[in-house]
Structures are given as structure tokens and as C-alpha cells.
Amino acid sequence: MRFGRRLPNDTATLLLVAVFIIALVGVSVAVDDGAARHVKAISVIAAVCLLGVYLTWLFPYLRSDREPSRGQARLGFSSAATLLLASGIGAAFVSDWFVAELRPTIDRFGISAAFAGIVIVAIAGNAVENAVGVTLAWKREHDLAISVIKNSVSQVAAFLFPLLVLCSLFFSQPLTFLIAPVFIVALLLTAIAVWQITGDGEGTIFEGVALIALYVILAAVTLYD
């Protein structure tokens, strides 16, 4: 499959900036330098910067991606935004219910929380998105297929994560960019792999299998965590 290079490279940049922050925080804590005592403050500053980067990419991208050939929109902007907000809230409640119902099974079989989150919840939560991406690719709408998959990645890494960091300031337990070292390495190498594989505007079966292999290996690591 062949697709435009712009979106894959842009989303790879967003992902690499997010991983850059995570890696710096993780290394700082690992070596216990002066910055390690200010992880919360650094995370807040980094979250604001990351949101700024995301917004400077988002608005020009939305404006430049308007194509007359797509026809008249069926919904206005306000209606679409309202529908998207309602869907997001509904998805949040469903996700919370799913995780709560999954907990007894996790405890019964001794499954690690990392495996449950990265594999079970991730596959179930992204089932519709993945099905849409595969369907679009099957219909040879390659650019749209890449957009569906990679836009969600950039939104989680460069928008949702930093937004949650800022929102968590109003709670007793703030969220930071500090994660376990093994996942820092996994994120960094995955970001580089995705950039290298999709940056040329071409996808092959070999590259797809390579990405699946990376995910299976990560799943195996979390399974025995």
C-alpha cells in the first residue's frame, strides 16, 4: 500500500517529542540527579509544551486537509463536536466498566496489570478503530486508513496524556511522565520503528509483520512482568 508521507512523518514527530519527555524524566530519576526531585514541575512544563506542539500541528493540518472532492459534510461543526464529546464520555464510562469487570479475571489467573492494559484492554478498546483501518486499507483508501490509525496514536501521546497530566493537578495523586524503564525503552524503540516504517509512504507485508512481532514481544514481556 502507498500513502502520503506528510501525516506519518508528522505523527511520528509528535510521538518522538512525547517519548523524548518520557525518556528524559526516566533517565533523570534513574541517575537521581537534581531534576529527579522536581518530576511534577517538569511534567507540568512538558505537558504545556507538548500541547502547544500538538495544537500548532493540528489547526494547519485540519485547514490544509480540506478537499472539495469529499462533498458536502452531513453534519455541521457544532453537531459533530457535540457528538464527538458525547461519544468520548460514553467511551470513558464503558472503559471504566470494562476494567472493573476484568479485575476478577486478572486476579484469578494472576495476569499482570501491564499485560491487561497493554494487551487485553488495548485490543478490546481499539477493536473498532483497527477494523475500520483494515477495511479502509482493503478498499485501497490507504491515506484514510493511515490517518485513522496514526492520528489516534498522536492524539493519545501528544494531547490526551499531557492533558491528563494537567488535569491531575486538581487531585491528590498527580500524574507525571515517569514510567517504568522497560516501557521507556519500548516506547522509544517503537516510535523509531514506526517512523522508519511509515515515513517512506509505503507499507509492505514484511513491515506489517515486523510491527506485529514488536507487539507480540512486548506482550510477552508484560505477561511475565
pLDDT above 70: residue 88: yes
pLDDT above 70: residue 67: no
**pTM of this structure:** 0.81
Rounded alpha-carbon distances, angstroms, from residue 221 to 24, 68, 117, 144, 206? 23, 47, 13, 32, 23
- How many helices and strands in the chain, by DSSP H and E? 10, 0
Quick one: pLDDT at residue 56? 92
Q: Which of 194, 192, 185, 188 is nearest to 212 (CA)?
A: 194
- Say how far apart CA 173 and CA 21 lie, in whole Å: 20
Rg of the chain in Å (alpha carbons)? 19
Quick one: pLDDT at residue 71? 54
Task: For residue 63, count other CB atoms closer than 10 A to its CB.
Answer: 8
pLDDT above 70: residue 65: no
Quote the Cα angle for 97-103-107, to 5°.
175
Q: Which residues are registered as beta bridge partners of 2?
A: 202
Amino acid at residue number 70: R
What average pLDDT is seen over the chain?
86
The confidence band for 73, taking pLDDT boundaries of 50, 70 and 90, is low
Supply the DSSP string of 44-63, one letter for each residue: HHHHHHHHHHHHHHHHHHHH
pLDDT above 80: residue 8: yes
Average pLDDT over residues 29-41: 91
